[in-house]
Amino acid sequence: MTALDHRLNMEFLASAPDLARCPAGEAPEVAFAGRSNAGKSSVLNRLTGDRHTAKVSKTPGRTRLLNFFALENGARLVDLPGYGYARASAKSQAKWQAAVNEYLSFREQLAGVVLVTDIRHPGMAFDAEFIDWALASEMPLHVLLNKADKLKRGAQGRALAAYRKRLGGAATAQLFSALRGQGSAELAALVEGWLANASDAAAHRLR
């Protein structure tokens, strides 16, 4: 099976500066978090097979917003503002980081989070804090070791093993390359599984 069999069809839905202005409705969401430049937007574009999908998040002024994309069944993927955007002031960084923290802590329909990391930089402070938060709050977590194309196969395997050891079975991790498409089918299946579970759970609550 190729990555193309697992393309997710989605469209840009809305941008929000904070939790209060996130789109209404109860559609389940999976959020993509990570340091600025780790490749969140590139990962989303790889999932759709269209390099223009997440382009909106790169237009000036939009990078600081939470960007929502709707799948065909209404479920959503959320491109969160990157942590540590170099050209922003400390004040504006603190502001949008507060919006991300608020979203992660209080968004009812958040079904899981994908942490996008750069495989060459394990153990970055933000990534470690994010993992600690997700595990402590029992939020389903999947770690992407993105930019795998930058390392040889042996080094890729060692990086993945180290991450899995750290997660200790409490979360999953995989190799990914937004550039080459490596790991795309695996990620699409995981995201769809989380969203389907969340929809089932919501339907069950209604009964």
In the three-class reduction of DSSP (H, G, I as helix; E, B as strand; rest coil), residue 135 is classed as: helix
DSSP-derived secondary structure letter, 76: E
Q: With CB under 6 A, what is the number of residues at the site for ligand GTP?
A: 19
Cβ proximity to ligand GTP: between 41 and 199 the closer is 41
In the three-class reduction of DSSP (H, G, I as helix; E, B as strand; rest coil), residue 65 is classed as: coil
Give the one residue of 28, 33, 41, 187 binding Mg ion; rule: CB under 5 A.
41
- Partner whose footprint covers residue 179, from ligand GTP, Mg ion, none (CB < 5 to 8 Å by kind): ligand GTP
Give me the 63-82 binding string for ligand GTP, x by CB under 6 A, dash otherwise: x------------------x
Q: Under the criterion CB under 5 A, does residue 57 sit at the interface with Mg ion?
A: yes
Give the one residue of 8, 13, 40, 183 binding ligand GTP; rule: CB under 6 A.
40
Beta pairing, strands 29-34 & 110-118: parallel
In the three-class reduction of DSSP (H, G, I as helix; E, B as strand; rest coil), residue 20 is classed as: helix
Give me the 147-176 binding string for ligand GTP, x by CB under 6 A, dash otherwise: x-xx--------------------------
Structure tokens at 169: 């079975």
Give the one residue of 12, 36, 93, 160 binding ligand GTP; rule: CB under 6 A.
36
In the three-class reduction of DSSP (H, G, I as helix; E, B as strand; rest coil), residue 143 is classed as: strand
Q: From the CB of residue 160, how many other CB atoms can be counted at a distance below 10 Å? A: 17
Please report where in the chains the tokens 């608020």 appear, as a residue: 102
Alpha carbons 169 and 94: distance in angstroms, whole number: 32
Give the one residue of 12, 14, 18, 85 binding ligand GTP; rule: CB under 6 A.
85
The beta strands (E) that lie in 104-185 are given as 110-118, 141-146, 172-175
Site residues, ligand GTP (CB under 6 A) = 34, 36-42, 57, 63, 82, 85, 146-147, 149-150, 177-179
Site residues, Mg ion (CB under 5 A) = 40-41, 57
